[in-house]
Chain A
């Protein structure tokens, strides 16, 4: 079975400080991993994806994530938070031949001025 766990339901940072959103996955096969962002009352937007080409993945808006197979982790980071980063973030795992997305529970990022 495959699943994904986001370790923090809520993260609060000050503007200009680093962001770390943690995600662990379990999968019997090599997964594809994604981070999606959802701003209030909006749909979901893809931030970045890991597809085995490179372990460090760069996404939009300065976000990046590192795939660590030994730790079964795919943490999302950003060097300097911006007020516009306040949103809910979802870590997602999928198997290509299944074509289904399995979502983590979500992490709400709060950015304080």
Chain B
């Protein structure tokens, strides 16, 4: 069972470069998320997609764009990387609110992408 798969696992970028983080889930989940994790700040939501074809901003969307390519895949793009975007990025998925507003929906996380911008 693959669950949530992120690529790459590690990346070093120069300031101003662009890159796309890929995420795919095989659990037929409706909702997908991108978080960044920084020391002492927990995980902060960058963007999320409640269902295929929709995306919404989270707490810290500036400097990022996303694409919900299909139900399985949700990519995160940095158009012009900055040192402040050095972080660990996590993709997650859940059944989401469209499954009859089921309570207790848990999220499943990928292994993370460690990004350094120099």
Contact = CB atoms under 8 A, between A and B. Distances in A.
Contacts of B45: 100-102
> Which of A9, A44, A52, A99 has the most C-beta atoms of chain B within 10 angstroms of its own C-beta?
A99
A99 B96 CA distance: 5
Interface stretch (B14-22, B66-74, B99-107): B99-107
A108 B109 CA distance: 19
A99 B104 CA distance: 10
- Judged by DSSP, the binding face of B is loop
A34 interface: yes
B41 A96 contact: no
A99 B94 contact: yes
B77 interface: no
Given A34-B106, A44-B90, A97 B42 contact: no
A90 interface: yes
A34 B103 CA distance: 12
A101 B44 contact: no
Nearest to B100: A96
A50 B103 CA distance: 9
A52 to B, nearest CB: 7
18 contacts: A32-B104, A36-B109, A43-B4, A43-B112, A44-B92, A44-B109, A49-B106, A52-B103, A96-B97, A96-B103, A96-B104, A96-B105, A97-B97, A100-B33, A100-B45, A101-B43, A101-B45, A105-B40
Interface of A: 9, 32, 34, 36, 42-46, 49-52, 90, 94, 96-106
